[in-house]
Structures are given as structure tokens and as C-alpha cells.
Structure 1
Amino acid sequence: MIESSGKGDPARSLALLWRTSERSSRKGKPELSVDRIVRAAIEVADAEGLQALSMRRVAERLGVGTMSLYTYVPGKPELFDVMLDTVYGETARPEDVPGGWRGRLEQIARENWALYLRHPWLLQVAASRPVLGPNVTAKYDYELRAVDGIGLTDVEMDSVITLITGFVHGAARGAVEAAQVENQTGMSDEQWWAAHAPFFARIAYADRFPTAARVGQAAGEALNAAYSPEHAFEFGLERVLDGIEALVNRRARPGSPDR
């Protein structure tokens, strides 16, 4: 299931995101607020996935009638936008990060990695139309400042952040999928390979595919699995940062045609 942001009424979504207006709960009703409703919605998505998210399910979690939510939130599309903006506000944004721009980008990557693992449903969101809320905007501004003043153009700065966050998105998807497979099958990767290894021997796998057999064995022994999401993240992040460093260094060279 893929959900997209920005499907709600623009005026209502922006008013909700920036809290330009919020009605108080009426007497005799349980105390509600936009923040409390959003937090309950996030808890539903974290525990049950986006497919379970509905205004009715959120109301059940809060112990109130579904219609009472509409006093605060126009509908599910607007609620979803605020959910996204809220969780993106969780990333830490320290100003003093060692290691220069490379250290700052690494810190950003690790914060995004942790965010996806806390809220796996974010991986099901098509965010080509960004939520223009305060937390998303602050996050983007902070991430851009990590590479401000290092010789890149504004477009390149934006592209570097897109590259980093896009890499993390893909790596986190692999980590979440690996965890889901283990939960669904009740079998670890090590157990799965142990069960399948005798069959590979029968089909003379090493004889027919010697390179795959050699490399696969080496990787499996090093990682203790056929695939390690953590290793893929660490290895990939270093290579992405190496590529960005090559661009920065090229910009800094005297006489470079890019200068």
C-alpha cells in the first residue's frame, strides 16, 4: 500500500500544520486536541501499518466517538499530512557535529535511518508532493545547512540532500523488509540458509556458478547472513559520501571547468 501526502484541502492542511486555528473541546467531552489525535494516529500506524489507519480506528484508540475528531481535524488526508510533519520533527539537529560537512551528512543519514526504523510506515509514503509544515521545513533547512558554503551551487546542495535521504530510504526499506520476513516466517536468515544449503549441494551450485559460490560464501561468513541491512547501510553511506567528496574536491580545484 502506497499513501501520498498532500491529498487534503490545501487551506485546511496548512492551517492544521501551522496551527493557525484550533477549536477547544466542548464541555462534557473528553479533552481532545490536534496533537493528541495526531499522536494516536501515529501509534496506530506504528503498531498496525497504514492499511489500518482510519478516523474510526484513531477514535477507538482515544476512546471517543469518530465524529468528535472532526471538530479538530477535517479528515484523514489532512490528518496524514500532520502525522508526517510530526514524525519528521523527531530528528535531532545538533549544531556542533564533528567531521565537517561529511560528519554532518553522516549524522543526517543516521537520524533518517533511525526515523524509518521507528516508523516503518514512512516507507510507504510517496512524498513527491512534500508536506509544507513547520517540522518538514525546519528539517530541510537544517539538512541544507550541512553543505552550505562548501562550494556547491544551490541546486547541487538540494541534490546532495536528495541523494543522502534517497539512499537512506532504500537502505531502510531493506532493513524493514528483512525484519518483517523473519517475523512472518519465524525463521532467521541463518536458519533459512541452513535448511536450503543441502539442496544447493545437490544441484552442484559451486560447479555451475563458481564466482557466485565463492563470493556468496565469503559474504555469508563475513556477515553471518546472506544479507545484512546494517552492513549495506554502512558500506553504502561511505560510498555515497565518497562520491560527494569527489564533487566538492573538484569544485575546489583551481582552474576546474566547474568553477
Structure 2
Amino acid sequence: MAEYSGTGDPARSLALLWRTAERSARKGRTDLSVDAIVRAAIEVADSEGLGALSMRRVAEELGVGTMSLYTHVPGKGELFDVMQDTVCGETARPDLGGEPWRVRLEQVARENHKLYLRHPWLLQVAANRPVLGPNMIAKYDYELRAVDGIGLSLVEMDSVITLVLGFVHGAARTSVDAAQAEQRTGMTDEKWWQAHQPFLARMSDPEAYPVASAVGVAAGEAHNSAVNPAHAFEFGLERILDGVEALVNRR
């Protein structure tokens, strides 16, 4: 089930995101802060998923009463916005100004892929309403600079970043799903393939499905699985970059 950013009060969310009006702690524990609450919420989401995230669960993680959180954070919607912005600050942003645009854009893709694998709950977040926090804006600015000055229009620059991040989102989903399938079933993809391959071979009719039979067997034997997330990411990223290069060359 998808979660949506921006469900909290916009004024309160922005105040928390930019820390323009952090609430007083005089009515609650002095060792609590927005940062401490957000860190605890991220840990809950990382380990238990977004379905487990609630103000009560975060309070349990911190060992405090639920009401004490509201001294610092108005509610779950605002907390969720700050969580997203906080993890956006984790992506590495080396100075690659002297590198070709393709190297810079690949860096963007790989850092976002790592971010999703560290925080799989991000894959459940509908991204059509971005959080307007400092980390997310800084991340977006860095990513745009990967394709700045290469002949694209401003709209094309945004479209290229959207294309790359959309691909990364799908690739990361495949990786996370594969890892969770192994954890929950106790069976690796390789073992699954070994168990099912004899039956698939018998059921697949080369005469009725000649292309599917040939390609399916070849891919399965190559990957020891129905799909190899690492291969899919590397192959897809190269093709995406090739497509962007074709666009740039037309300019």
C-alpha cells in the first residue's frame, strides 16, 4: 500500500523541515528533539516497514510517552515528510564537474539505488508530491547538475533525471522483492530455479512457444533464477544512458 507525502499541515511540515520554529521542550523531556524523533522513526520504518510506523510505535522506540512527541512533531504526516527529507541527505555528492556527463548521471543513479536498498520503505512512497525540504532540494539540484550544460533544455534536464530515477525505483523494487522473498520463504532464487526447472522444462512446449522456450531456458540458466536484479540494474542503466546520449547527440 502506497503512502503519500504532503499529508500533514503544509505550514507545520515546512517549519519542521527547515527548523524555522522548532517547538519548545519545556513541557516534555528535555532530551527529546525533532532529530531524535525522526531518527527513531526511520529505524522503525527500516526494520519493520511503513505499516508499523505510528507515533505510538516511535514513542516506544524512544522509551517515552506518545504525547511527549507532540511537543516537537504535530503528527504522523509531518513526521513522515521530515523522514523523507532526512534520508535524502544521505546520498553522496562528490564534485564530478570535470567528469563526462555520463559518469555524473551514473553516479546519480547508483546513489539513489543504494538509498532505496538502505531504506526500502521509500519504495512505498508516492513521489508525485515532493517534500520541499532542504535535503531533497539540495539532492535535486545536485542531480540536475549532472546534465547541466550538455545542450538540453531546462525541461529536458528535469525529464532526464525523472527518467533515470524512475528506472532506479523499479530496479530497486526488484532487488528488494527478491531479498524479501528469500527471507520470507527461506529459499534462495537459485534453489527455487533448481526445484522448478525440471517441471518448467517439461511443461514448456518448444513447438508452441519456440521463442519463449529458448529465451526462458537461456536466461534461467544464465541467472540461476527467473530474474537477476543486479544484472537487470546494470543492463538497464547502460541502456538508459545510451538513450540519453542519443538525445544529447541530436542537439
User: By the TM > 0.5 criterion, same fold?
Assistant: yes
Shift of 1:217: 2.0
User: What CA distance in whole angstroms lies between the structure 2 residues aligned with 1:6 and 1:250?
Assistant: 38
C-alpha spacing 1:46/1:28, structure 2 compared with 1 (3 Å): closer
Q: 1:204 to 1:72 in 2, by over 3 A?
A: closer
How many pairs does the alignment contain? 251
Which position in structure 1 is the counterpart of 2:139? Answer: 139
Per-residue CA deviation, residues 153-205 of structure 1 (Å, 9 max, x unaligned), is 00000000000101100111111111111111111112112222232344353
Give the TM-score, by structure 1 length: 0.93
Deviations 1:30-76 (A, max 9, x none): 51000000000000000000000000000000000000000000000
Contact 1:30 1:64 in 2 (8 A): no
Structure-1 residue corresponding to 2:222 = 222
Aligned residue for 1:208, secondary structure, equals coil
Residues 204, 33 of structure 1: alpha-carbon distance in 2 compared, 3 angstrom cutoff:
closer
Could you say which residue in structure 2 is the equivalent of 1:17?
A: 17
Q: Distance in 2 between matches of 1:196 and 1:190?
A: 10
CA RMSD of aligned residues (A): 1.5
Q: Which residue in the other structure is 1:39 paired with?
A: 39
Contact 1:97 1:103 (C-alpha < 8 Å) held by counterparts = no
What is the match of residue 190 of structure 1?
A: 190
Partner of 2:213: 213
**Separation in 2, partners of 1:27, 1:181:** 45
Structure 1: unaligned runs, 5 residues or longer: 252-259
Runs of at least 5 residues in structure 2 that lack an aligned partner in the other structure = none
Residue 81 of structure 1, CA deviation: 0.1
The answer for the alignment partner of 1:256 in structure 2 is none
Q: Distance in 1 between matches of 2:212 and 2:57?
A: 48
- What is the distance in 2 between the residues matched to 1:147 and 1:115? 21
Within the alignment, does 1:175 sit opposite 2:175 as a pair?
A: yes
Structure 2 CA distance for aligned equivalents of residues 204 and 33 of structure 1: 60
Alignment of 1:73 onto 2:73: yes
- What TM-score do the two structures reach when normalised by structure 2? 0.95
1:99-151: CA deviation from partner (whole Å, max 9, x where unpaired): 41100000000000000000000000011111000000000001111111111
Q: What amino acid maps onto 1:7 in structure 2?
A: T
Matches within 5 A, 1:59-98: 59-96=59-96
